[in-house]
Amino acid sequence: MTTPQNTPQSAPQNAAPQNTAPARAGGNFRWVICTLLFFSVALNYIDRNIIGILKMPLSEKLGWSENDFGTIAAGFSFAYAFGYLIGGRLIQRFGVRYGLPGFVFFWSLAAMAHGLCGLIPAEARMSIGYPWLNFDTGFFIATLALPSTAFGFLMARIALGLTEGGNFPGAIKAVAEWFPQKERALATGLFNAGTNVGAVICPVAVPMLLKQVGWESTFYITGALGFAWLVAWWFLYESPDRSKRVKASELAYIRDGKAAETPAEKKESMPWRNILRYRAVWAYIIAGILAGPVWTVYQFFLPDFIYKRYNELHAQLGDWSKVFYFTTPATATDELLNQGRLFESGVWTGVFYFLAAIGGVFFGWLAGKLLNRGWTINAARKIALLICALSVVPIYFAPFASHVWLAVLIVGIAGSAHQGWSANLFSFVSDTMPRKAISSVVGLGGFVTYFTGGVVSKATGWILQTTGSYVYVFAWASSMYVLSLIAIHLLVPRIPQSPDNA
């Protein structure tokens, strides 16, 4: 007997009959919800990306090595992996209305806690023993030795990772509740653009904050932004069937062939043993292991790549320190010149994230446009994924580019493709899974992505410590998306056409 391609058994028949005429949107409040999700994601990325922007000044001031920073970055990724996994289940249990703001509250506190590390003496060091396995000698006690400030940052990053992990499962769950299938990739691309807007603001604003208030207060200020978002969420968010701001015609458009969830169904979650029987879940996991960790390299190492590889930025762009620090090369201190160059590299990092934001929206729009032109969901989703995968391949040449603008363009196109890839891959989950499993599957995919990302972050630190070059890192990244798409197509040859699976 042949096993179904996307479901272990026939999907429950609780979908409402589809109308012969397509439903028309009678309102736009769902886009207000998308805007709230956009800002939650933007804040999420501002809080996590600051450390990448401040890598050079923090390393110099606090005495960190490349391995120390790799350990800090890996700590966040490992914690974020578990936060993603747990967050998906908690969002499924408590719902989006209460679950998502809970995560925002606690991650804002964790972001502010980074500033407390300034109370630790910069010269203090510490070591920790932990069990490790060597295949030749068996288990033994290994030692992690690093500056005490690095350990403080490691603890703060772990707290941040655990609490930020609920953001995307909650956002994807909200999109599944508030948007019909044909708009989900666009809505996902729009809110996911918040990752890039936050990341565009971060490299430009953080160097200015660093100069004006110091690195400790920079963490305090950016972390506190989450509390303003909580106020807006409390007054605006409710499920579509309970919201007083949604017209009946818009509600019908949102449902568009799917039955409304009851309160019990919203809190119902599917057991893991049933979730893992779906072939689409394994396709999503493989894509998370292969392609997902590439984004962690952008988050934590891209500003450093630009700063180190193109330290002649000031020669190509002019001495920006004269503009922003009111000094001249003859009178400038090394610290002021480094701050000027940090700002310059931050601007180029911002350009990268701006390009990435465009890609997330464009490729989300592309899939919806193909669907509106009569393409099947299978063809529309996979063509969008294929274009994204091929657009990443040239990143192999980024370390060899002779000019900073060319390197940023190559990496920016790859980042743009990654965001478009993510928008369609998130929608792939809601295309293939029952609603009661969506948050859990997104959480599981995030877990494997960021757990692998922790390994990649630590390995990247080791590669930089050993070779001083990003060549091997970008060579690895260039092929991961194509391999992921091959795995997706082999496991799920045909994405189901129905508007909702459950």
3-state class (DSSP) for residue 20: coil
Residue 93, domain CATH: 1.20.1250.20
Tokens of 86: 């747990």
How far is residue 156's CA from residue 112's CA, in Å, rounded to a whole number?
Answer: 9
As a whole-number percent, the residues of the chain with pLDDT over 70 amount to 79
Distance, in Å, from the CA atom of 90 to the CA atom of 98, rounded to the nearest integer, reads 10
Q: Is residue 278 part of a domain?
A: yes
Please report whether residue 172 resides in a domain: yes
Task: With a cut of 80, say whether residue 108 has pLDDT above it.
Answer: yes
**How much is the average pLDDT of 112-121?**
86
Of the pLDDT bands very low, low, confident and very high (cuts 50, 70, 90), residue 240 is confident
The per-residue pLDDT for 10 is 37
pLDDT in the model for residue 266: 52
Residues in CB range of 320: below 8 A, 6 or more apart: 314, 340, 343, 344
The model's pLDDT over 69-96, given as tens digits with 9 standing for 90+, comes to: 888 888 888 898 888 778 877 887 888 8
Helices (H), 147-278: 148-164, 167-178, 181-236, 248-255, 263-267, 272-275
pLDDT of residue 237: 86
Neighbours of 399 (CB within 10 A): 18
The answer to whether position 287 is within a domain reads yes
Query: Is residue 115's pLDDT more than 50?
Result: yes
d(CA 427, CA 151): 38
Q: How confident is the model at residue 315, as a pLDDT?
A: 45
Q: Does the structure show a pLDDT above 60 at 164?
A: yes
Query: Rounded to an integer, what distance in angstroms lies between the CA atom of residue 471 and that of residue 65?
Result: 20
For residue 336, what pLDDT is reported? 44
Task: Return the pLDDT at 340.
Answer: 55
Residue 456 predicted with pLDDT over 60: yes
Packing angle between helix 471-491 and helix 279-290, nearest 10 degrees? 170
Q: d(Cα 182, Cα 25) in Å, to the nearest integer?
A: 12
| Of 339, 343, 340, 345, residue with least CA distance to 310 | 345
Residues of 203-231 as b/e, b for ≥16 C-beta within 10 angstroms? bebbbebbbeeebeebbbbbbebbeebee
Mean pLDDT, the chain, whole residue set = 78
Residue 204 has pLDDT above 80, yes or no: no
Q: Report the distance separating Cα 145 and Cα 168, nearest Å.
A: 34
164 in a structural domain: yes
The pLDDT assigned to 361 comes to 77
| 312 domain-assigned | yes
From start to end of 73-231, where are the E strands? 125-134, 138-147
147 occurs within a structural domain: yes
CA distances from 229 to 86, 202, 422 (A): 23, 17, 24
Lowest mean pLDDT among 106-110, 145-149, 151-155, 355-359: 145-149
Res 13: pLDDT:
38
Burial class (CB in 10 A: 0-12, 13-18, 19+), 130: exposed
pLDDT of residue 417: 92
Residue 270 predicted with pLDDT over 80: no
Q: Is residue 3 part of a domain?
A: no
Residue 502 domain flag: no
State residue 227's pLDDT score: 92
- Whether the pLDDT of residue 312 is over 50: the answer is no
Q: How far apart, in whole angstroms, are the C-alpha atoms of residue 32 and residue 35?
A: 5
Q: pLDDT per residue over 313-362, tens digit each?
A: 444 444 433 433 333 344 444 454 455 566 677 678 778 888 887 877 78
DSSP string, 27-55: --HHHHHHHHHHHHHHHHHHHHHHHHHTH
- Virtual CA dihedral for 449, 452, 458, 464, nearest 10 degrees? -80
| Domain housing 387 | 29-491
pLDDT value of position 477: 92
Domain count, the chain: 1
| Strand intervals (E) in 198-251 | none
At residue 57, does pLDDT exceed 90? Answer: no
- Please spell the DSSP secondary structure of 398-413, one letter per residue: GGG-SSHHHHHHHHHH
In angstroms, the first-to-last Cα distance of the chain is 24
Contacts of 43 (CB under 8 A, 6+ apart): 104, 108, 198, 225, 226, 229
CA distance 295 to 354: 15
Distance CA 136, CA 55 (A): 36
For residue 479, the model assigns a pLDDT of: 92
